[in-house]
Amino acid sequence: MKVAVFSTKSYDKIYLDSFNNTSNQLTYFEIPLNADTAKLATGFDAVCVFVSDKVDRKTIEILAQNGVKLIDLRCAGFNNVDIEAAKEHQIKVLRVPAYSPQSVAEHAIALILSLNRKTHKAYNRVRESNFALENLMGFNLCGKTVGVIGTGKIGINFCQIMLGFGCKVLAHDIFESSILKEKGVEYKSMDEILEMADIISLHCPLTPDTHHLFDKMAFSKIKKGAMLINTSRGGLINTSDAIDALKHGQLGYLGIDVYEQEESLFFKDLSGSLIQDDLIERLMSFHNVLITPHQGFFTHEALTQIAITTMKNFADFENGQPLENEVK
């Protein structure tokens, strides 16, 4: 199978090549897939894409015209793909539904600990021979109330870690986990979590129902000074409303590994450029905001599983096997 792999980084090549077999001819493109670059897929059977690719209706129409029959996502989220358009053009869409839920859950913990104990600031201070403790005060996690929105595989792992810290864990999801209930996690309404939680961590997909789940109304209801962590999808948070909540002290801390306009920023080295995004510039100006560049998935274990599942998806499609990872 001839596959055009878009948004390729050095690590993508290493892991995909390691688990490729001779039946797949992988051609790597560093640029993202979108309507302007879709013509590069001419002559390929499939495209392999990432969260930074824009696979909208126009892009899919071009892919279909050029003979592409498969879109294989090397990630779990698929909100960047127009599923209906793909179905209309008889293009199958596959994904990696689970690669390493531990990696994302653990990164959410890293954001919490860094924001709380200000280790990133202490690191920079000590490098400048400043060993003062002023403005590095944190708080004990033990005994705090943590709200978890979304208890899929990542949410479950996150809850279990926070229980280990001695936290009271509240959760909200359409489907309640019996495993978490047995361990003492209590399911509550969104409003109850907003009112009670000292820390809120988002682990739900981006859908029309969850788009801007945290907006002006939600921020007005949160416990004053609470911490909000997002390692899921940027569109879950209305950035402008988050900035207002930070300015007025309603939101005490914000840790994000995703951003709603990240496609023009993340996975790129912009150190020599002027960033034209005023919202993220404003976010970076707050001392109580920590931003990481969508690295929650970035562990050896996760990349290994992504490559294995991606290759399995190609093989299942090519061999006419049941497509267990199909997005319908």
Residues involved in catalysis: 233, 262, 294
HSE-CB of 317 using CA atoms within 13 angstroms: 26
Integer Rg of the chain from CA: 21
Whole-angstrom distance, CA of residue 289 vs CA of residue 269: 21
Tell me which DSSP letter residue 272 carries: T
**Residue the block writes with tokens 């996150």:** 158
Whole-angstrom distance, CA of residue 109 vs CA of residue 37: 37
Selection from 51, 50, 49, 57 nearest residue 88 by Cα = 57
**Can you read off the two tokens belonging to residue 102?**
């531990």
**Can you read off the two tokens belonging to residue 165?**
């810290």
Selection from 81, 209, 205 nearest residue 153 by Cα = 205
In the chain the first and final C-alpha atoms are separated, in Å, by 22
For residue 113, give the 3-state DSSP assignment: helix
**Can you read off the two tokens belonging to residue 231?**
């390692």
Whole-angstrom distance, CA of residue 290 vs CA of residue 246: 13
For the chain, strand residue ranges (E) read 2-5, 25-28, 46-49, 70-73, 92-94, 145-149, 168-172, 186-187, 199-202, 226-230, 251-256, 289-291
**Residue the block writes with tokens 């878009």:** 6
Element (H, E) at 71: strand 70-73
